[in-house]
Amino acid sequence: MGMTKDELFEVLNNGLSESVIEIQDLAGDNDHYAVKIVSNKFRGLSKINQHKLVYDVLGKKMGYTLHALSIKTEVPKE
Protein backbone atom coordinates (compact mmCIF):
# COMPACT_ATOMS: atom_id res chain seq x y z
CA MET A 1 0.00 0.00 0.00
CA GLY A 2 0.96 3.61 -0.33
CA MET A 3 3.25 5.26 -2.84
CA THR A 4 6.53 7.09 -2.63
CA LYS A 5 6.78 10.82 -2.98
CA ASP A 6 8.50 10.36 -6.36
CA GLU A 7 5.74 8.07 -7.63
CA LEU A 8 3.11 10.55 -6.53
CA PHE A 9 4.96 13.40 -8.22
CA GLU A 10 5.26 11.35 -11.41
CA VAL A 11 1.52 10.65 -11.56
CA LEU A 12 0.54 14.26 -10.86
CA ASN A 13 3.14 15.68 -13.18
CA ASN A 14 2.09 13.42 -16.05
CA GLY A 15 -1.57 14.20 -15.58
CA LEU A 16 -1.23 17.92 -14.97
CA SER A 17 1.53 19.03 -17.26
CA GLU A 18 2.85 22.58 -16.98
CA SER A 19 1.80 22.83 -13.35
CA VAL A 20 3.86 23.69 -10.33
CA ILE A 21 3.60 20.78 -7.93
CA GLU A 22 4.88 20.76 -4.37
CA ILE A 23 4.60 17.64 -2.28
CA GLN A 24 5.10 17.47 1.44
CA ASP A 25 5.56 14.11 3.10
CA LEU A 26 3.55 14.36 6.30
CA ALA A 27 4.30 11.12 8.09
CA GLY A 28 7.09 9.27 6.29
CA ASP A 29 4.80 6.25 5.81
CA ASN A 30 4.18 6.63 2.03
CA ASP A 31 0.53 7.28 2.77
CA HIS A 32 0.16 10.82 4.12
CA TYR A 33 0.98 13.70 1.83
CA ALA A 34 0.03 17.29 1.31
CA VAL A 35 0.20 18.58 -2.24
CA LYS A 36 0.02 22.09 -3.53
CA ILE A 37 -0.63 22.47 -7.22
CA VAL A 38 -0.58 25.73 -9.08
CA SER A 39 -1.94 25.27 -12.56
CA ASN A 40 -3.56 27.13 -15.41
CA LYS A 41 -5.77 24.08 -15.88
CA PHE A 42 -7.72 25.20 -12.80
CA ARG A 43 -8.69 28.52 -14.30
CA GLY A 44 -12.45 29.03 -14.38
CA LEU A 45 -13.14 25.95 -12.30
CA SER A 46 -14.79 25.94 -8.88
CA LYS A 47 -12.71 24.61 -5.98
CA ILE A 48 -14.70 21.39 -6.08
CA ASN A 49 -13.92 20.88 -9.75
CA GLN A 50 -10.26 21.83 -9.28
CA HIS A 51 -9.92 19.10 -6.69
CA LYS A 52 -11.90 16.70 -8.86
CA LEU A 53 -9.36 17.26 -11.61
CA VAL A 54 -6.59 16.21 -9.23
CA TYR A 55 -8.59 13.19 -8.12
CA ASP A 56 -9.21 12.28 -11.78
CA VAL A 57 -5.48 12.26 -12.40
CA LEU A 58 -4.94 9.99 -9.40
CA GLY A 59 -7.80 7.76 -10.53
CA LYS A 60 -8.29 4.60 -8.54
CA LYS A 61 -5.12 5.27 -6.56
CA MET A 62 -6.98 7.70 -4.37
CA GLY A 63 -8.74 5.94 -1.55
CA TYR A 64 -7.14 2.60 -2.41
CA THR A 65 -3.37 3.01 -2.78
CA LEU A 66 -3.26 6.35 -1.07
CA HIS A 67 -5.45 7.28 1.85
CA ALA A 68 -4.54 10.64 3.25
CA LEU A 69 -3.88 13.36 0.75
CA SER A 70 -4.38 16.97 1.56
CA ILE A 71 -4.86 19.05 -1.58
CA LYS A 72 -4.44 22.75 -2.15
CA THR A 73 -5.08 24.09 -5.63
CA GLU A 74 -4.36 27.51 -7.01
CA VAL A 75 -4.51 29.33 -10.30
CA PRO A 76 -1.28 31.19 -11.17
CA LYS A 77 -1.46 34.93 -10.65
CA GLU A 78 -1.70 36.91 -13.85
Partner 1 sequence: MDKKIKESIEQEINSNDVHLFMKGTPLFPQCGFSSTVVQILTYLEVPFTTTNVLDDEGIREGIKEFSNWPTIPQLYVKGELMGGCDIIKEMFENGELKEIFENENLLS
Question: Is the separation of the CB atoms in 65 and 55 below 8 Å?
Answer: no
Does 47 participate in binding partner 1 (rule CB under 8 A)? yes
Tell me which DSSP letter residue 4 carries: -
From the list 7-15, 16-24, 37-45, 46-54, the region that binds partner 1 by CB under 8 A is 46-54
Residue in 15, 62, 65, 75 binding partner 1, rule: CB under 8 A: 62
Does 68 participate in binding partner 1 (rule CB under 8 A)? yes
Question: Is the separation of the CB atoms in 69 and 54 below 8 Å?
Answer: no
Give whichever of 24 and 52 is closer to partner 1, judged by the CB atom. 52
CB atoms within 10 A of CB 42: 21
